[in-house]
Amino acid sequence: MIRWMQTWLWRFRRTKLSVIRLVVLDVDGVLTDGGLWFDQDGRLQKRFDVRDGLGIRLLQDAGLTIAFLSGGKGGATEMRARQLGIEHCLVGIKDKPIALETLQQKLGFTQKQTAFIGDDLNDLAVRPQVSLLITPSDACYAIRRQADWVLGRRGGHGAVREAAEGFLKSRNRWRKLSAQGWRECND
Residue 154 · residue 140 · CB < 8 Å: no
Q: What integer pLDDT is reported at residue 91 of this predicted model?
A: 95
Answer whether 130's CB lies under 8 Å from 113's CB: no
Helix (H) or strand (E) segment spanning residue 66? strand 65-69
CA distances from 166 to 11, 69, 93, 175 (A): 11, 21, 28, 11
Query: What pLDDT score was predicted for residue 173?
Result: 86
Cα of 93 vs its chain's centroid, Å: 17
Res 101: pLDDT = 98
pLDDT at 187 (0 to 100): 34
pLDDT at residue 36 in the model:
78
Using CA atoms, how far residue 30 sits from 61, 88, 138, 143, 187, in Å, is: 21, 17, 9, 13, 31
What distance in Å separates the CA atoms of residue 136 and residue 163, rounded to the nearest whole number?
A: 9
Q: What is the pLDDT of residues 19-62, one digit of tens each?
A: 999 999 999 999 999 887 888 888 778 899 999 999 999 999 99
- Where in the chain are the domains? 19-178
Chain segment 123-182, per-residue pLDDT in tens = 999 999 999 999 999 999 999 999 999 999 999 999 999 999 999 998 888 888 888 888
The fold for domain 19-178 equals: Rossmann fold (3.40.50)
Q: Do 156 and 45 meet the contact criterion of CB atoms below 8 Å apart?
A: no
